[in-house]
Structure formats: structure tokens, C-alpha cells
Chains A and B, each alone.
Chain A
Amino acid sequence: MEAAGHKPVDPILVEVIGNRLQTVCREMLVSLIRAAFSTNIKERYDCGTGVFDIDGDQVALAAYPPLHMGGMRGIVRLLRAEYPPEEIRPGDMFITNDPYVGVSTHLPDPVLVAPVFFSDRLAGFVASVAHHADIGGRVPGGQAPDSRSIFEEGFRIPLVRLFADHKPVPDIHKILRTNVRNPDEREMDLRAQFAANFVGIRGYQEVCQRYGDEVVNGAGRAWVDYSEARLRDKLRQLPDIVCSHEERVENDLDDKPVTFRVTVQSKDGLLHADFEGTSRAFEGAKNIPLSATVATVWMVVKSMLDPQIPASEGAFRPLRVVAPPGTIVNPVPPSAVGERALSCQVLADVVMGAMSKLVPERALAECGPHHGINISGINPRTGRFFANHESFAGGMGARRTKDGVSACRVHIAGSANLPVEPLEAELPILIRRYDLRRDSGGPGRFRGGLGLRRDIEVRADEVRVTLRSERQMIPAFGIGGGAAGATGEFILNPDTDRETRLPIFVSNRRFARGDVISVRTPGGGGYGNPRERPRELVAQDVRSGYVSPAAARDIYGA
């Protein structure tokens, strides 16, 4: 199939077309959210969309969690490597969820990519990614901290054609349906991704209609180049020094200490991030596929240097990430990777710790990562199987001039906490309590954000629960004399005589009707000496119940 070339485009048109493609991309995301059936997609926005030019560079990206912005990057190049151009036809869509081909970052996140044709030739690509509620494997939802290989984590799909001529390819669908727990819902979520891609194709074609496909591709390339030049310029302004940072990370399956280590250097408009010294891969599921490691570095660099830079391929180009194969940050098959989002949060703290030496004014104390829960079973209202995936925000670390934000998704995360009412309206779950945890924010001149508490009552028999965490043993540390935030906790049946503290993870454990699981997320670290916190702010925190009178006296000296 013939493909469009590029035409040079003036800067104003680059901006107009670049913005149009961003809009197309956002429309795709909105369609995906509106059409999806998994709670995780439709209510929590755990999904993303991308528009790619003919070269396979992502021109536009839209997602709530930044991690997804790195999860689609390589998809077009993979497609073009595996399928010769004459085999890519209008109406085709291809799927993969395999982190070991460098695309999706774990199995529940299938990426669906589609070519865009304009006047009978290939003009670009669109893609979508969404975190499905189940993808088969040993436990519902596919994410168990104690999975020891990717084969336990679900159905692994190499890049294959899922739709041809706008219709499902029946053989692939049959295999897929057989390997997941709730095939109808999977099918409908994939249809939502199909619909999002369709909206993207239509939008991209409209832009081509107006300007011509070669102008669109010329503008796309210039837009990407512009992001690259802009980031390189920022990098050139940094001091040329070598900065390292390292930190221990929690190991779910044994207590052997495990370490992240990174060395960063900004040189000649490039950012080098070398993970030499990072521990060998976990036995469990917190390994971080290379695509997620790169996305994490990208997120930190963008946040600290230029939050407004368009999220295109150009902003990835100046990054030089060295991650030794077989380590946590570049595992090899068959290492499990399902829990990569939790370890990515600590990784982000570590990379930020190193980058802080280059841009101290943008330093952030360590953050309280989210905690996750999967609940599955038979919904007594419908008699059907359900699998629900949720996670809850922790507290953001304090900044040089500001408190951390309480109950806030940080770093690579960006999904919403599930609202209580729609959840209760759909599933046999009753939320008993949902509030901020007193004294969980790391004390400091600027206080870390508070973690939250959510008490979840199970209202069905035979329900199975998986719980996932990070920073339940090693807290989010403060900086500049600030103290650590509170660690997270899982408590079974709180405030009763059956109250029990659960381990840092729980894998597919049976819960009885009426059991209450209390999830308490970690707080962020503080910034600066707490005794220097202005009295009136401490008093206000006490009045608000964010800080206890005892802590105000003993820690803040108030």
C-alpha cells in the first residue's frame, strides 16, 4: 500500500494542525471512556489514546495516567516491522498486550492500533490502550503480587489482527473469549477501543481532507521536532554534573533488600539515565518493563523541566535510558510485571531524587503511592461474575513552598478514585467510610499530603479479594529536614473485636459477606524542619483534624 510523504509547512499551520490532532486524540479518549463497560475505564479513566504520523511517531497523546503515554509508543513501528505494507488495509485493527514486545506495560492493558487511509493511501495511525478488568491468568484481574511469571498473569497476545474490514476476526475472538473470565465485558471494552480508534480515523481523515495528507504529515513531523528542540533547549540549561540516587524498595515475596539506583547527567541537550546498580528482577510481579521505565523517566523530566511541553514523541527523543537486562527496570521473560505501577511510583521518587540535584527549586519530597484492590465474585443482583479493579490515591510529597496535596494520584498515576454512588449502584459493595487519615502527612515546614482511608464492605458470598501496596514498610521520606509520611495499611474488620492487620499484599483471598476491608494509603514526605512550620498553620491543621494535638505538640513543638 502506498504511503503519504511529507510537505514542508509554515509554523502557524503546524500549530493549527498539531492542535487539531491533539483534539482528535482527546475526542478518542472521551469516546473510549463513554463507550467502555469496565468500571476501571468508564469511571476511573485508566486508559489512553494516541495519534501517530506515517513514520510511527506519536504526534498526540491523551491519557489521565502518564504511564499510558509511554505504553503505546512503539506500537506503529512494531506493526510495520511485523506486517508488510500491502497487508495493512482499511478497516484493519491490530492488538497486542505483551510488555515484552515493548508496547503495553502489563497484560491487562491491550493496545489496539489502526491504520488511517486517505485517498487510497496510508496517511497515519491511531491507537488506544485501556486497563481491562480481567485478562485471564491465575487470579481475576491478572494482577497478583505473588505471580512468579508472566504466564500466571493472564493471556498474552502477540501483535495480531483483531478486526478486518471493520469486523471482528472470528478465530482470534474465540481464543480470546475462552481465556478471560467475563468474555462479554471484554468484548464490549474492545469494541469501545474500536470505537475510539474509529473516531480517531474519522478525525484524522477530516484533517487530511482539509489540508492534504502530506501537509498533515509535514506538520506532524514539525510538531514532534518542535517538542524535541524545546526539551533539548531546557536540558542544555542544566548544569553538567553527574547525580546519583538510590533507595530500597519493598519486596513482596521475601525480605531480601532490593534497590533502585539511577545516575543522571544532562549533557549536550540529552538526558542520560543509567540504572546500573539496580537489583536483579523480583521474583514477584513488581518488575518494570523497559517501556514503563522510559515512561517514568520521561514523566519526571517533563514534570521537572517543562510541564507544558506537548506529550509527543519529540519529548522522548532526548532521553537516553540505560537499563541493564534482567534488572527490575528491564526484566526479561518470563518475569512477572503486573504490579509495575506500584514500583514505578518508587522509581519516580528515585529519579526525581537524582534530578533534584540538577533543579533543586523543583524538588518534591517522596510521595505516598496508591494502593490497589481487586474484588471478584458472583453479583447476587445479576447472577453474573464480576471483577472490579480499583486503586486509591496516597498523599503527595511536600514542595519547597507548598504542602503536599492530600489523596492525590502522583507521578505516573492519574486515574480517578471510583465514586461511591455508581460503584454501589453496580456492585455488591458498600463503602462504610472514605476520608483522610489524620497524622499521615509527613511533618515538615511544609507538610506532606495525607493518605486516605476507604472501608469497603463485601455484600455477597464467596468474594475473592486481591490487595496490592507499596510503602507499607518503607515510608515516603521527607527532604530538607522534613519527616516521612505514614506507611499504608490493610486492616480487616476495623474497629471490631475481629480487627486484624493484613500483610502488605493479599492474593485472591476469600472474604465472607459482611467483611470490611479498610485500605489506608500512605502519606507524602514533609519538606523542611517541622518546628519551623508557622504556628497558625499548625493550629489550622489541628482545627481541621489533619494533625492531632499530640503530634502538634511533640513533632511541631506547638
Chain B
Amino acid sequence: MAMIGVDVGGTFTDLVMHEPETGRIVAGKVPSTTGNLTEGFVQGLDRLPVRLDRVRRLLHGTTVATNAAIERKGARTAGIFTSGFRDVLAIGTGQRFTGGLFNPGFRRATPLIPRSLSFEVRERIDHRGREIAPLNQRDLAEVAARLRDVAVEAVSICFLHAYANEGHERAVETYLKDRVPNLFVCRSGDVLPQIREYERFTATAFNAYLGPVVERYLSALEDRLRGAGYGRDLLLMTSTGGVVSARHASRYPVSTVLSGPAGGVSAGLYLGRALGIENLITYDMGGTSTDVCLIKNLRPAFAAQRIVGGLPLRIPQLDINTIGAGGGSIARIEADGSFRVGPESSGAVPGPACYGRGGEQATVTDANLVLGRLSPANPLGGSLTVRPELARSAVERVAEALGLADVHRAAEGIVRVAVSNMASAIREVSIERGEDPRPFALVAFGGAGPMHGCEVAQSLGLSRVIVPLYPGNFSALGLLVSDLRHEFLRSHLTLVEEADLGTVAGLLRRMGEEGRRLLAEEGAAPSDTDIHYVLELRYRGQAHQLGVEVNPGNLTREALAADFQRLYFDTWSYRPDTTAVQIVNLRVTAVGKAPRVSLAPPTPEASGGEIGEAPKQVRRVYFGGDFHDTPIYERSRLPLQARLLGPAIIDEEGATTVVPPQWRAEVHPSGHLFLHRR
């Protein structure tokens, strides 16, 4: 029974099929079909040598939610708020953050729910979950009537203290479900049952805003797949690097904001484990964007909060940094004379100028073609043919605008600017987080990553780059090795000394059981299931907590307080003059382990360091202001442990690795390509 990972990006749809029984791996790439993404998905599947009824695991990474969130193309969304609090989303923290502190031009991102669609209902719950004012039925009826009038697709129910008592929110949900048809309804006590209204309401608003878009996409996709014979759950990558059923993702679309890029992190982690390399930076450059993430001690970085479309999103998520730099990024001269590459992209259609589909503007891919780094016979996506003369005239226009006589210098300038943008993205997740990136290995993948990996590494002072097997399909491969994963978080404020530990254990168990149930539905065997229980604790009077791993079967006040005090001292190096410890959040992670995938190197024709017949040709390639005679190799014909010096180009299906003059390359016994600075 096969497994298939499908990673749909802005430009290409990448697929990987794996048969654990035979160890066979098949990779494929088709252009993404903008406008109707399911089309490309299914076309890609058609090319794989397997029938869908023989597939036991179909995994998917998608940028549908990401794009809708960033481009603000989500559903028309209304909000229902506790009376007096409809502006919580607009007021936020009242600060100028995300670079606004000294910026008189600062603009706060517009809330996802416009004020004209923000409705209020009289009701009130207090911090202990007690009702202060009952839910006003007349207000509710009025709001329901208004919702029908204003024609919204989604509604977000946001009541104060709903983490402590979901009763009122639930009642509104039930009321609306019966009376307003075709409405995506979600509520704060369900999406993120955590204290702090602004962050909870924002996550809930995101969920509603993305709901109809993601739901429509996934249900169309599942229909197509069912029609094609796939009878099991489609599994969706989430922002934590774990997968969940499409059904679950449709209900919590906010958790799929990083669905696209998370596969690459998962793959990087898998690679690090397989090679025994603990510190890596994943660098995934596709046609539209670049995603980077730090993996330290084989743990990917998590972010407490990420800014998505200008708004703070505080859900469990990887710390992935995305910028608009890809093979299709367009080079432009701005009105003020500055030279920019990206974030605008030519996308799949029309694509770079060299595709000859009507694209006129020079892109990073065109520049690489002009420089001779990209082989005309081996463009991204294999099946395409490219026209170098179109690339050349597009880059000539840039050279003219820049006042450069030499088209090659302009082309190299385009690549340099893109490289510098990507290096900055890595700085942000390393140097700016206090992490020196230089000891890390850069894992370069995606259609365009291996082409720029060495230059990106060089500009950051890294000396090692790894181009994995199947670099053009590495994210899709990452889907195959990802665990099923559900995260639950619930605020439950009580002092440890006063806590009813039976209740706490009961809540933890219930969350764990919910996790088990979801995992079982998604096909995980109980023996492959792990549940982790964590209590987030703090000293009474503090606002921030530390997580202590617990066993709900064995909770004691003494052990909890002692474990917390020890952890606190280890973290902050002092003990405050208080012993009152408070439970704040209950956190449960349910993991269903992925089946093992072993990545054998594709049958090399020889081994032992002899390159032998491998070079297929020599081409003049432009590096650092001059042309160099550069051997062009075919990766599949390079024997294991083969060593070669730059400059060199290594072509393969779906990607091109550029080894610049100061670098050398070696085919590692595992089949992955290791590049070192000389």
C-alpha cells in the first residue's frame, strides 16, 4: 500500500509516492493550476504509477489558508461580541507594534471583521465561569436577523471569559445553526480556550475568515479524490508540523496557516535525524516564495506568536519565516530609482519570461538562464521548454533601466538581490533570535533552493550546504514522514494548593481521550499513539508561565510545586519569595507516529569517488563578473562519494544545484549532496 505526499505551491505542485514494502520512491512535479487548485492536484496524481484505491495515506500541504490570510481574500465575516466589547479586535493592545514604535507612518492592520459587521449581545460570564448576566435572547434574535440581511459567509462568536464557561457561546452557535443557513460558525471557547480576549478573539476571527475558503477547497478536493477511488482520510499538514484529517482542518482552518511550508521543516528534521546532524536551517525556495526555519538539537523552533497579515496569531505553530523571493520573483526598478526583486511573482501563469507564456518582466529564473546556471534543457518542472532569447531580452530591459551595458551583470545583480533578501530572512530567525547561524548546515531544497544555497550560505558565513535527494519534492517528502498531531490548550486558573487535582486530572484525561479519538478516526493504531500532558504553571501574581510535564494518573500538589520551582530556578536563576503556585493552562499533545520511511539512495551506477563518465558537457557560466568553463553533471550519474570542485552545475529532475567557484561538492554515502566552502 502506497503513501503519497502532495505539496501544492504557488507555482508547482510537487508529489512524492512511496511504497514501504519495496522502498520505491517516485517523485513528480506539475504546474499548479491557479484558480482551481484541485485540478493540478489530480493531474499530478494521475501521473503516479499507482491506483488511488491502493493508497493508504494521502497527505497534503497547501497554501490556501496562508494566501487567503495574507492577501486578505477570506470570507466576508461577522462577529458577535459581548455587549460593550465589539472593538476588542480594533483596539488590540493599544500599542504600535511590528516596527511601529518610532514610525509616524504606522498603520495598524485592519481587523478581519469590519466594524459594520461587529454585533453585540448582552451577556456576561466572569473569570470563574459564573454567569453575571444571562444571554439576552432578544439581542440574539436581532443579530440572527441582521446576519441574514448582511449576507455573510462566516461568523465568529467572541464572548468574554469563554475559556472558563462556553455555555453562552455554545447557545449562540446552536441558535444560529438552526436559523441561518450556509454559515461557517466558530467560537472562541472552542478555537482557543485561553485567557486574554484579544489573542483569543483574533485567532477565532482568523478561523471564521478562513473557514469557508478552506472548507470549499477541501470538500471539492475530497469529492474529486473519492471519485478517483481514494477511500480514506485526506491528511492535511498543520502549522505544528503534524498532520490532521481534512475534516478536522476544515473545522480549524486557522491551524493550517503554515500548512505549505511546514512539510519542508518536517523533511529537514527527518534528514537531520537520518544523518545525525542536529543543527540545520531549512531553506525552501520555490517559484513564489522562500521559507526558512531553524532546527536546533533536532527540535524545530516554535513561535509563541507570529504576525500573519499584520495581526498577531497566537496558536501552536512553527517559527517559519516566509518572504516573497522565488524563481518567479520579478526584478523591477522603482519610481525612486531603487532596484527590487520580488515580492511580486510571475506565478505559474504567465511565469518567467523564458516560459514564453506572455511574461515580459525579468525574473530570478530568467537571470539564472542568462548566466548559464540554469540549463535550457533542464528547467524547473522538467516537462517545460524554455526560450533563452526571451529571458535575455527581459533581462536586457532591466540592464538598460539600470544603465548597464552588460546583460550578464544585470542578471548577476538580480540574483544577488534575491540572495540578500533570502539571507535576511535567515538572519531574522537566527541572529536576531540570538542564534549564530554559522555552525548550522543549510538544507537547500525547493525548485530554486539548490541553485542559490551556496550563495545564501556564503553571505551568512555558513560553510556547509546539504542538497537532499529529491530536492524539488522535499516538502512533499516531508509530508510522508510527518506524525499525526493534535494540540489542545485550555485555561484553567487555580492555585495548586487549592486545586481540585481530581478535576484537573479529569480535564487532562478528557483532552487526551479526545486526542486518542481523533487519532483513531484518522487511522492511527493505539500502539503508535503517544499522549503528552503538560501543566503550564506560574507563581501567583505573575502573568507568564512555564510548562511542566505531568502524568494525570499521578498528580500531587507537592510534586507539582517542586517540579515547577526547580524548573523556574533553572530558567530564571532565582527563587521569588513566594510559594503560591498557580495552574494556568492545561496542554495536551496527541501524536500518532508516522510509518517509517527509509530513503535509500537511487541506485548509483558506480561508487568510490570516480566521476567517470558523469560530466555530460561543459558550458560557459557567469560567476562574479566573468565567464568560467563549467562542467555540467547529471546527478543521477554521479557515483556515491564522488567529489568535485566548483564551478560546477549538477542537474536533476526538478532542480539544479549550482556549485560556485569557491565551493566543492561530495555525494554523501546516503545519496544527499554535501557542499562545502573551500
Contact = CB atoms under 8 A, between A and B. Distances in A.
B99 to A, nearest CB: 8
Interface in A419-435: 419-422, 424-426, 430-435
Sort chain B's interface into a size bin. 35 or more
A143 interface: no
B87 interface: yes
A399 B85 CA distance: 28
A508 to B, nearest CB: 24
Interface in A37-90: 37, 39, 42-43, 64, 66
Contact of A33 (B90, B544, B574, B576): B544
Given A304-B104, A405-B106, A421-B161, A191 B541 contact: no
A35 B88 CA distance: 27
Most buried by A among B86, B107, B431, B572: B572
A496 interface: no
Contacts of B104: 303-304, 307, 362, 364, 399
A23 B108 contact: no
A337 to B, nearest CB: 24
Nearest to A459: B126
A35 B197 contact: no
Contact of A184 (B102, B161, B195, B578): B578
B307 interface: no
A408 B96 contact: yes
Contact of B195 (A27, A415, A421): A421
Contacts of B93: 416-417, 419
Contacts of A37: 539, 541-542, 576
B433 A402 contact: no
Contacts of A66: 101-102
A350 interface: no
A172 to B, nearest CB: 16
Sort chain A's interface into a size bin. 35 or more
Contacts of B543: 33-34, 36, 39, 42-43, 422
Most buried by B among A31, A199, A364, A422: A422
A364 B100 CA distance: 14
A6 interface: no
B96 A405 contact: yes
Contacts of A36: 542-543
B541 A195 contact: no
B102 A299 contact: yes
B372 to A, nearest CB: 30
A86 B201 CA distance: 55
Contact of A432 (B84, B101, B127): B84
B84 A425 contact: no
A99 interface: no
B574 A195 contact: yes
B402 interface: no
A292 B414 CA distance: 46
B432 A420 contact: no
B198 interface: yes
B91 A406 contact: yes
Most buried by B among A302, A414, A455, A545: A414
A303 B103 contact: yes
Contact of B493 (A64, A210, A425): A425
Most buried by B among A194, A393, A421: A421
A299 B94 CA distance: 19
B161 A436 contact: no
A543 interface: yes
Contacts of A246: none
Contact of A434 (B91, B196, B539): B91
Given A191-B576, A544-B115, A433 B198 contact: no
B95 interface: yes
A389 to B, nearest CB: 15
8 contacts: A34-B544, A35-B542, A39-B543, A393-B95, A422-B543, A435-B86, A435-B91, A436-B87
